[in-house]
């Protein structure tokens, strides 16, 4: 009996699996794929230090890999099982499924499972790789890259509106930490405000020119988190900000600019650096440029990468996250066509 990607999406969305808490989703997939006659592997991924990582969990988390027994895959379909918070379960109407992960990326995962079922029936040597941690640091992908399975092609799934991506932006995560000296706020001359230094540095960072790629567009910069101080009547002795830069080329130039711009006002740490990726066009699928980052830069040992998936990135990470049932079904066909074309023509 053919796998129904709509029903499988509902099951997956109703399992909470925000980043660092993916264990239940991984266990479900391990059992589900085993029941589909696959040989299934679990690969543990370490939890980060809970003291330094907000939201870190204490439970088991692991990647799931599946292929037919004894088969070295030519093509692997891959996406992530973790979601951003907060969790909310699946609802539906005639047209859409709603809920956390419907488009990013549990609907994609379900479509890939359904596609793999058809591909193996068609004689294609296919594997499935579902990883943890994509929404934070690609820790699952980095772990998977240590044990590749010999595939020639990797089809990664993210919401691309069922268009084939020709490029995806990189990501540079930057952490600024300013230090000061506490004093009573009535006597600011006795202290040194870390918040003042951080604000001045961030103002200058926002004014920095960023690289632009003519075919792709500009790099973009977002200040996503700011924290600091002790109380309104205390001169702040500490403050920090977390920045994410979407890259359209190597990170070296942006790194140098940030360090020079911040100067001695704050310490600069680069906690994540995922490169910009170009990919080739195959077949007649419509194409797009992904302004977001994926696990692809961390899965270099899994074959030539391609990026394709149902759903819109514009509703991912929002309270309105949803996916069209029609798109899910179309995605199964697209994955089958793309994988078959790659294996037969390359």
Q: What is the pLDDT of residues 234-289, one digit of tens each?
A: 999 999 999 999 999 999 999 999 999 999 999 999 999 999 999 999 989 999 99
Q: Which residue has the tokens 């943890």?
A: 132
Q: What is the pLDDT of residues 107-162, one digit of tens each?
A: 999 999 999 999 999 999 999 999 999 999 999 999 999 999 999 999 999 999 99
User: Of 274, 303, 320, which closes a domain?
Assistant: 274
Residues 318 and 221 in one domain: no
Q: What is the CATH number of the domain that holds 219?
A: 3.30.70.360
Q: Is the peptide bond before 86 cis (omega within 30 degrees of 0)?
A: yes
Q: What is the dihedral of CA 74, 306, 252, 218, to 10 degrees?
A: 180
User: Of 274, 295, 330, which closes a domain?
Assistant: 274
Task: Tell me if 219 sits within 8 A of 212, measured CB to CB.
Answer: yes
pLDDT number for residue 127: 98
Task: Tell me if 306 sits within 8 A of 75, measured CB to CB.
Answer: no
Rounded mean pLDDT of the chain?
A: 96
Annotate 104-170 with DSSP letters as a single string. Answer: IIIHHHHHHHHHHHHHHHTT--EEEEEES-TTTT-HHHHHHTTS----SEEEE---STT-EEEEE-E
Count the domains in the chain: 2
Q: What is the CATH number of the domain that holds 26?
A: 3.40.630.10
Residues 90 and 187 in one domain: no
Pick the closest to residue 157 from 98, 111, 125, 90 (CA basis): 111
Residues 341 and 254 in one domain: no
Task: Tell me if 245 sits within 8 A of 257, measured CB to CB.
Answer: no
Pick the closest to residue 293 from 142, 158, 163, 154 (CA basis): 158
Q: What is the pLDDT of residues 151-177, one digit of tens each?
A: 999 999 999 999 999 999 999 999 999
Residues 269 and 195 in one domain: yes
Which element (helix H / strand E) includes 280?
A: none
φ/ψ of 248, rounded to 5, equals -120, 20
Residues 178 and 147 in one domain: no
Residues 115, 62: Cα–Cα separation, whole Å: 23
Describe the chain by its helix, strand, coil percentages, rounded to 5. Answer: 30, 30, 40
Confidence (pTM): 0.90
Mean pLDDT of the 319-345 span: 97
Sheet holding 220-228, edge to edge: 220-228, 238-247, 170-179, 267-274
Task: Tell me if 338 sits within 8 A of 188, measured CB to CB.
Answer: no
**Structural domain boundaries enclosing 129:** 5-167+277-345
DSSP at 103: I
Residues 300 and 313 in one domain: yes
Residues 198 and 306 in one domain: no
Q: What is the pLDDT of residues 166-207, one digit of tens each?
A: 999 999 999 999 999 999 999 999 999 999 999 999 999 999
Task: Tell me if 115 sits within 8 A of 336, measured CB to CB.
Answer: yes
Within 8 A by CB and 6+ apart from 172, the residues are: 244, 245, 247, 251, 254, 255, 270, 272, 273, 274
Within 8 A by CB and 6+ apart from 231, the residues are: none
pLDDT number for residue 345: 87
Residues 191 and 264 in one domain: yes
How many other C-beta atoms are found inside a 10 Å radius of the C-beta of residue 248? 23
Residues 15 and 30 in one domain: yes
Residues 120 and 17 in one domain: yes
User: Of 256, 274, 292, which closes a domain?
Assistant: 274
Instruction: Output the CA–CA distances (angstroms, integers) from residue 39 to 64, 128, 339, in the order listed.
Output: 11, 11, 20
Residues 158, 104: Cα–Cα separation, whole Å: 7
Say if residue 14's pLDDT is above 90.
yes
Active site members: 134
Pick the closest to residue 299 from 160, 159, 158, 162 (CA basis): 158
Say if residue 52's pLDDT is above 80.
no
Residues 159 and 293 in one domain: yes
Residues 176 and 248 in one domain: yes
């Amino acid at each position: 009996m053919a796998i129904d990607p709509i029903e499988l999406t509902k099951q997956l969305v109703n399992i909470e699996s925000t980043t660092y808490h993916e264990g239940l989703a991984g266990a479900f997939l391990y059992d589900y794929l085993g029941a589909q006659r696959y040989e299934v592997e679990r690969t543990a991924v370490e939890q980060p230090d809970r003291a330094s990582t907000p939201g870190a969990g204490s439970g088991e988390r692991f990647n799931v890999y599946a292929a037919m027994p004894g088969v070295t895959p030519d093509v692997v379909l891959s996406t992530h099982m973790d979601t951003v918070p907060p969790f909310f379960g699946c609802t539906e109407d005639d047209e859409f499924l709603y809920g956390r992960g419907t488009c990013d990326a549990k609907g994609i995962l379900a479509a890939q499972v359904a596609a793999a079922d058809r591909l193996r029936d068609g004689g294609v040597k296919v594997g499935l790789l579902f990883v943890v941690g994509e929404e934070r640091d690609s820790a699952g992908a980095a772990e998977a890259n240590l044990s590749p399975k010999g595939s020639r092609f990797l089809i990664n799934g993210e919401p691309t509106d069922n268009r084939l991506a020709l490029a995806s932006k990189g990501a540079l995560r930057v952490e600024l930490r300013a230090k000061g000296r506490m004093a009573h706020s009535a006597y600011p001359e006795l202290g040194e405000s870390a918040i003042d230094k951080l604000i001045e540095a961030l103002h200058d960072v926002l004014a920095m020119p960023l690289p632009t790629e003519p075919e792709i567009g500009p790099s973009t910069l977002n200040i996503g988190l700011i924290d600091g101080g002790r109380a309104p009547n205390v001169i702040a002795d500490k403050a920090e900000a977390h920045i994410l830069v979407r890259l359209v080329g190597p990170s070296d130039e942006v790194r140098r600019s940030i360090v020079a711009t911040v100067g001695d006002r704050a310490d600069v740490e680069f906690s994540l650096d995922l490169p910009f990726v170009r990919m080739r066009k195959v077949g007649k699928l419509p194409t797009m440029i992904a302004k977001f980052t994926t696990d692809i830069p961390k899965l270099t040992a899994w074959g030539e990468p391609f990026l394709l998936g149902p759903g819109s990135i514009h509703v991912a990470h929002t309270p309105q996250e949803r996916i069209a049932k029609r798109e899910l079904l179309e995605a199964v066909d697209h994955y089958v066509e793309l994988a078959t074309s790659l294996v037969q023509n390359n």
